[in-house]
């Protein structure tokens, strides 16, 4: 007995009124993206649910991936039989057996949209229910609150049975809430911030500042891997890699040591805002968590945030480091993040950066150089990668 299709139930989506159709289309795209390894799979849309046609792909192979796609409330694998009561009974029994633990209660909920079928709803319930009960020990019926609710749907094309229900990732489908730029350093926090934004349907474009030779190609690869990891949640991600060496060197020359960190962050935010403008984004996302490091005190945030009036979203601002690490583990970015390569944030960090920088001071320090032009040029020279990156696969394809 193999599963034929998967029933997808929408979450918050059903409350979205006129945007609903767009939401459903985006969800379909997310699902197909996360299951792209299985080209045989197709998706059928219907008004209050969606079906994934497995076309021979085992349910187990797609289950974990599906549970990561935002916009799905829950999903159930469905078995298909012919319109034959004996076949239906056998499939029902096997389904219940698969999901049974001693002491469970169950009920059969039949629906018959094909009225030509020989039995009516009650007769189906009875025929299947009694067959299952006869063949199983310590299973009892509870029609109000069953542990196993066996759904049986008789349609023209066949009969569909299911009794498993898996929770989805909830949230909103990718790309339904507009686009934002994510500052992605390579540390533990920023990918987690990206994950939370993805959960709310935000399309992410990641920005990474690369300072060769101070930061290595491996640090850059790590960021590519992190962004790639985030695409598992059903979203394509663009990654912009901005050359940052010249600006960082200039900052070191011009700004007093204890203010270099503040200036660096201001430049990063200002450049992210320029890229956002170019790319039609609506907000900037950072992985800042209040008080975690010198740049993440309220004073620092104010001094840094001063460069833009664009909303800067900080989904981790109230989270503890350990809570963030837990999420990073869960979403599979933690082990990539802890690889020990110097990144743009760590390499130029002064021994004692200002934890309470004064806005007026930093503005004055920066006023002696035309950072504006340098920033324009860096944004001009940035490199953009589309993830998931098919090119990487091609490069090694004939070797593997």
Partner 1 sequence: MIYFDNSATTKPYKEALSAFTKANEQFFGNPSSLHHLGMQADRLLQEARKQIASLIGAEVEEIIFTSGGTEANNLALKGAALANRHRGNHIITQQTEHPSVLHACHQLEELGFQVTYLPVNASGRISIQELEAALTEETIAVSIMHVNNETGTIQPMKEISELLKKYPKVLFHADDVQGRGKVVLDLKEIDLCSLSAHKFHGLKGSGVLYKKKGVKLSPLLSGGNQESGWRSGTENTAGIIAMAKALRLTEEKRSDGVAEMEEIQQFLRSELEKINGVRIHTPKTEAAPHILNFSITGVKGEVLIHALEERGCYLSTTSACSSRQKKTSTVLVAMGLPAAAADSSVRLSLSYENTMEEAQAFLRVLNETLPKLTKVQR
Question: What is the three-class DSSP state of 152?
Answer: strand
Nearer to partner 1, 368 or 396 (CB): 396
Nearer to partner 1, 158 or 332 (CB): 332
Nearer to partner 1, 90 or 392 (CB): 392
Question: What is the three-class DSSP state of 272?
Answer: helix
- Which three-class secondary structure string do you get for 320-387? CHHHHHHHHHHCCCHHHHCCCCCCCCCCCCCCCCCCCCCHHHHHHHHCCCCHHHHHHHHHHCCEEEEE
Find out whether 133 is annotated in a ligand binding site. no
DSSP 12: G
CB 35 within 8 A of CB 41: yes
Find out whether 296 is annotated in a ligand binding site. yes
Nearer to partner 1, 322 or 400 (CB): 400
Number of Cβ within a 10 Å radius of residue 368: 9
CB of 329 to partner 1, least distance (A): 11
Find out whether 129 is annotated in a ligand binding site. no
Binding mask 300-339 for partner 1 (x = CB under 8 A): -----------------------------------x----
Number of residues that bind partner 1 (CB under 8 A): 11
**By the rule CB under 8 A, 398 interacts with partner 1:** yes
Pairing, β 105-112 against β 179-183: unpaired
Query: Any idea what the Cα angle at residue 329 is, between residues 323 and 330, rounded to 5°?
Result: 90
Find out whether 158 is annotated in a ligand binding site. no
CB of 327 to partner 1, least distance (A): 18
Q: Considering only 116-124, 211-219, 253-261, 296-304, which stretch makes contact with partner 1 by CB under 8 A?
A: 211-219
Nearest to 21 by CA among 141, 173, 124: 173
Nearer to partner 1, 98 or 218 (CB): 218
**By the rule CB under 8 A, 383 interacts with partner 1:** no
CB of 112 to partner 1, least distance (A): 37
Among 113, 340, 368, 399, binds partner 1 (CB under 8 A): 399
**By the rule CB under 8 A, 400 interacts with partner 1:** yes
Query: Considering only residues 214-273, where is the footprint of partner 1 by CB under 8 A?
Result: 216-218, 221
CB of 400 to partner 1, least distance (A): 5
CB of 218 to partner 1, least distance (A): 6
| Structure-block tokens of residue 42 | 């197709």
**By the rule CB under 8 A, 340 interacts with partner 1:** no
Beta bridge partners of 160: 80, 153
Q: Which residues contact 245 (CB under 8 A, 6 or more apart)?
A: 210, 211, 212, 213, 214
Q: Which residues contact 231 (CB under 8 A, 6 or more apart)?
A: 33, 237, 387, 388
**Torsion, Cα of 74, 80, 83, 87 (10° steps):** -110
Find out whether 208 is annotated in a ligand binding site. yes
Nearest to 330 by CA among 201, 195, 227, 231: 195
Among 32, 325, 359, 392, binds partner 1 (CB under 8 A): 392
Binding site for partner 1 (CB under 8 A): 216-218, 221, 335, 392-393, 396, 398-400
| Known binding positions | 183-184, 208-209, 265, 287, 296
Residue positions forming the annotated binding site for ATP: 183-184, 208-209, 265, 287, 296
């Amino acid at each position: 007995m193999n599963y034929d299709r998967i029933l997808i139930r929408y979450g918050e989506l059903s409350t979205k009124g006129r945007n609903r159709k767009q939401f459903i289309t985006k969800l379909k795209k997310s699902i197909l993206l996360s299951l792209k390894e299985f080209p045989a799979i197709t998706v059928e849309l219907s008004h209050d649910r969606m079906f994934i046609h497995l076309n021979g792909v085992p349910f187990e192979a797609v289950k974990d991936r599906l549970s990561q796609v935002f916009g799905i409330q829950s999903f159930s694998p469905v078995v298909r039989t012919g319109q034959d009561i004996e076949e239906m009974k056998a499939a029902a029994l096997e389904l219940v057996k698969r999901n049974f633990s001693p002491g469970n209660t169950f009920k059969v909920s039949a629906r018959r949209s094909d009225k030509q079928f020989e039995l009516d709803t009650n007769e189906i319930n009875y025929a299947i229910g009694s067959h299952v009960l006869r063949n199983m020990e310590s299973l009892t019926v509870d029609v109000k609150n069953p542990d196993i609710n066996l759904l049986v749907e008789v349609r023209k094309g066949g009969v569909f049975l299911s009794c498993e229900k898996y929770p989805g990732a909830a949230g909103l489908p990718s790309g339904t809430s507009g686009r934002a730029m994510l500052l992605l350093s390579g540390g533990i926090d920023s990918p987690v911030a990206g994950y939370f934004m993805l959960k709310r349907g935000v399309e992410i474009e990641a920005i990474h500042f690369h300072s060769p030779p101070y930061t290595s190609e491996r640090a850059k690869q790590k960021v590519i891997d992190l962004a790639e990891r985030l695409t598992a949640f059903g979203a394509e991600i663009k990654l912009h890699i901005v050359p940052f060496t010249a600006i960082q060197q200039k900052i070191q020359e011009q700004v007093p040591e204890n203010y270099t960190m503040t200036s660096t962050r201001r430049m990063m935010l200002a450049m992210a805002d320029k890229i956002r403008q170019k790319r039609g984004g609506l907000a900037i996302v950072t992985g800042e968590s209040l008080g975690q490091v010198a740049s993440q005190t309220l004073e620092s945030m104010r001094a840094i945030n001063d460069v833009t009036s664009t909303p800067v979203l900080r989904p981790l601002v109230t989270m503890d480091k350990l809570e963030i690490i837990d999420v990073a583990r869960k979403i599979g970015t933690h082990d990539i993040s802890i690889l020990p390569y110097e990144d743009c944030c760590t390499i130029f960090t002064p021994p004692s950066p200002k934890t309470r920088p004064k806005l007026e001071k930093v503005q004055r320090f920066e006023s002696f150089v035309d950072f504006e032009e340098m920033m324009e040029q860096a944004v001009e020279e940035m490199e953009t990668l589309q993830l998931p990156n098919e090119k990487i696969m091609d490069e090694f394809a004939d070797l593997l």
